[in-house]
Amino acid sequence: MSEEIQVMDSNTEVLLEKGKKDGADTIWDRKAAMKTPCGFGEKGICCRICAMGPCRISPTKDKGAQKGLCGATADTIVARNFARMVAAGTAAHSDHARDIAHVLYMASEDGNYKVKDAGKLMNLAKEWDIKTENRDLYDIAHEVAETALNEFGKPFGTLKFLKRAPYQRQQVWSEQKIEPRAIDREVTSLMHSTHIGCASDPDSIFELSMRTALSDGWGGSMIGTELSDILFGTPTACATQANLGVIEKNMVNILLHGHDPSFSEMMVYASEDPELVKLAKENGADGINLVGMCCTGNEITMRHGVRIAGNFYQQELAIITGAIEAAIVDVQCIFPALADLSDLYHTKFIATSPKAKITGAEYIEFVEEKALETCKGIIKEAVLNFKNRDMENVLIPDNKSHANVGYSVETIIQCLDRVVNSYTDEFNTVKPLADVIWAGVLRGAAGIVGCNNPKVRYDESHITIMKELIKNDVIVVASGCAAQAAAKAGLMTMEAKELCGRGLKEVCERVGIPPVLHMGSCVDISRILDIVSRVAKEKDLDNRDLPVVGAAPEWMSEKAVAIGTYVVASGIDTFLGITPQVTGSEYFVDLLTNRVEENVGAKFYFEENPTECARKILERIEEKREKLGI
Ligand code: WCC
Ligand code: FE2
């Protein structure tokens, strides 16, 4: 397998070489041009919240400025900067979810958007006390959508999904006063508290950050996942392929990159339109090849098996192949650099969201009311662009791996049902999973998520940690760009069981699953919260008691800061492979990596060395097992 990583690397090298020849400017060039990052920013001690500054706190104690003009210390400034990352991350996930809720609100029997998973809709309606008997399916859908939309701004009460957590966890939240109320309220409130002259107590700022982050994990993200499943179908196990080799030489290649499945789903349908396929053939191509990147890639591979071109760091490399007719994006994780890069090739770079207009990109607004029509128009542009491709300047690496994806909680439970002893056990529960963990066949579970970050070698931290864990009988669930790293490295195949310890290997064989399970996009980390909570409830325990961890080995985005914070606040230790910009305050570092455990039963670990990180994860898992006496 390590050979595979090297092959992946050589692909990257080859494309970078080509890029250089073509005059491309990539993230690696820009990183080199950036030289040493700003030391104050890196430590989180630059404050530009008001216009008296920017104020920079001297990193050396007793020398230079120790306070900003208002008197804010490094502890306050670091905490506020961290909090504002949480607020932005929560806003991004949740605003995505709000759009999905609006789409569910407009769904109809004869419209572009329909309810695909009526069972899931009914379950959610019941959970939310919405009447279902003798009611039209779409009436119910609309009321569910409206209820979800109210979660963003309701004036009273706390978020509905909090009740999905084990009651012990709900108690922790209540005691700590971090139960999130309405989602928008938490984001707004945190922005208010971190305004000049408001909160300065770092402990309090972090508590408020946890409350806001929880409104992401158990609010926005969970709404995003649930409603997407209702609209587009709950993912089921399916086969796909991953890596740049999925780009096809003789096809119209359309790269879909971004996040919102109401857009990408419609693109999948539109790409199957016989008229457009015919047009592609008339233009000399063999057909239309849709490939995905980042979370959009995850959404459409989970539900349709659409192949994954790559993860975050590969967005430029895909265009450098010279074989992408159109790179189409909506929101989040899109390099503005793609505009200039596309200009070097025939690639059309098309932005579609009013929330993310991009300088230099063509703009075709995606309007949900005319979803299919808009998508067909966009695909037509791509098809007509095929003739402009310079065939001489195409380089598609052939590397691609097989992967089995689509492991929603429902699908995992279905797989587990295969091993249920029907005389003694119940179907449709996570009990078999809890049982194998308790028996020690599996030592525990790890959720490995997040981005790529040029501070470390792409995908290497993800893969090193995953391989080390599965070797030691820790099952891995993955989402986001970490999941795509696993897919590319072949860790999502059935054959990957050969890399596992004896226990996990047996589980993979008997349950028929790969050792690393693709659970979806970044908002789908809510699925991970869901399954962990189900296991905890099965054993009448809190999440904090379970031998499970979260890890974001190569994270970079504000969304990841929100995620890490809600995972910790949910009672699950979180290992960060990139140290966040907080080291300017020893006090705040100690809070995140130590003291917070007293309050919520979990903490952050910062560990940049992946082998060491895996070792610490295993150690922590064993510690939890020991406490449980298992
Ligand atoms: Ni989620 Fe990170 Fe990928 Fe973007 S798509 S790059 S936040 S992991
Ligand atoms: Fe994402």
The per-residue pLDDT for range 586-608, each reduced to its tens digit, is 999 999 999 999 999 999 999 99
Its CATH architecture, for the domain 74-232, is Up-down Bundle (1.20)
Q: What is the pLDDT of residue 528?
A: 98
Determine the atom of ligand 1 nearest the C-alpha atom of 452: 6
Q: Is 261 helix (H, G, I), strand (E, B) or coil?
A: helix
CA of 236 to the centre of ligand 2 (A): 20
**Facing residues of 574 across strands?**
550, 604
Q: Which residues are annotated as a binding site for [4Fe-4S] cluster?
A: 38, 46-47, 50, 55, 70
Range(s) within the chain of domains with CATH label 3.40.50.2030: 244-393, 403-628
Question: pLDDT per residue over 12-60, tens digit each?
Answer: 889 999 999 999 999 999 999 998 889 999 999 999 999 999 999 999 9
Which residues fall in the annotated binding site for [Ni-4Fe-4S] cluster?
259, 295, 333, 451, 481, 522
Parts of the chain belonging to CATH 1.20.1270.30: 74-232
Rounded to whole angstroms, what are the CA distances from 396 to 7, 15, 321, 557, 571?
A: 14, 8, 5, 29, 44
**ipTM confidence score:** 0.93
Q: Which two tokens stand for residue 18?
A: 């080509």
Range 545-560 average pLDDT = 98
4 pLDDT band (50/70/90 cuts)? very low
Give the ligand with the smallest distance to the CA of 333: 1
DSSP secondary structure of 17-70:
HHHHHHT---HHHHHHHH-SPPHHHHHT-EE-SSTT--EE--SSTTSS--B-TT
For the domain 403-628, what is the CATH code? 3.40.50.2030
Mean pLDDT value across residues 495-517: 98
Closest-CA residue to 260 (of 22, 521, 435, 38): 521
Question: Measured from the CB, is residue 408 less than 6 Å from ligand 1?
Answer: no
pLDDT tens figures, 240-262: 999 999 999 999 999 999 999 99
Annotated binding-site residue numbers: 38, 46-47, 50, 55, 70, 259, 295, 333, 451, 481, 522
Q: HSE on the CB side for 385, CA within 13 Å?
A: 23
With cut-offs at 50, 70 and 90, classify the pLDDT of residue 628.
very high
Confidence of residue 1 (pLDDT cuts 50, 70, 90): very low
Query: Ligand 1 atom 2: the closest Cα is on which residue?
Result: 451
480 CB within 6 A, ligand 1: yes
Asked whether residue 9 carries a pLDDT value surpassing 70, the answer given is no
Question: What letter does residue 307 receive in the DSSP assignment?
Answer: P
- For a ligand 1 pocket test, name from 461, 462, 481 the mutation site with the most ligand atoms within 8 angstroms of its C-beta: 481
pLDDT in tens, 156-203: 999 999 999 999 999 999 999 999 999 999 999 999 999 999 999 999
Side chain identity at residue 591, one-letter code: L
Q: Which of 264, 293, 332, 488 to mutate to test the pocket of ligand 1 (most atoms within 8 A of CB)?
A: 332
- Looking only at the bridges linking them, the beta strands covering 604-606 and 401-405 are unpaired
Cα 77 to Cα 38: distance, rounded to the nearest angstrom: 16
Region 485-510: what's the mean pLDDT? Answer: 98
pLDDT digits (tens, 9 = 90+) for 109-151: 999 999 999 999 999 999 999 999 999 999 999 999 999 999 9
Distance from residue 447's CA to the centre of ligand 2 (Å)? 15
Q: Is 522 in the pocket of ligand 1 (CB under 6 A)?
A: yes
SS3 629: coil
CATH 3.40.50.2030 fits 244-393, yes or no: yes
Q: Record the pTM.
A: 0.97
CA distance 186 to 182: 6
pLDDT band at 424 (very low <50, low <70, confident <90, very high): low
Find out whether 407 and 420 touch, Cβ atoms under 8 Å.
no
pLDDT per residue as tens digits for the range 571-580: 999 999 999 9
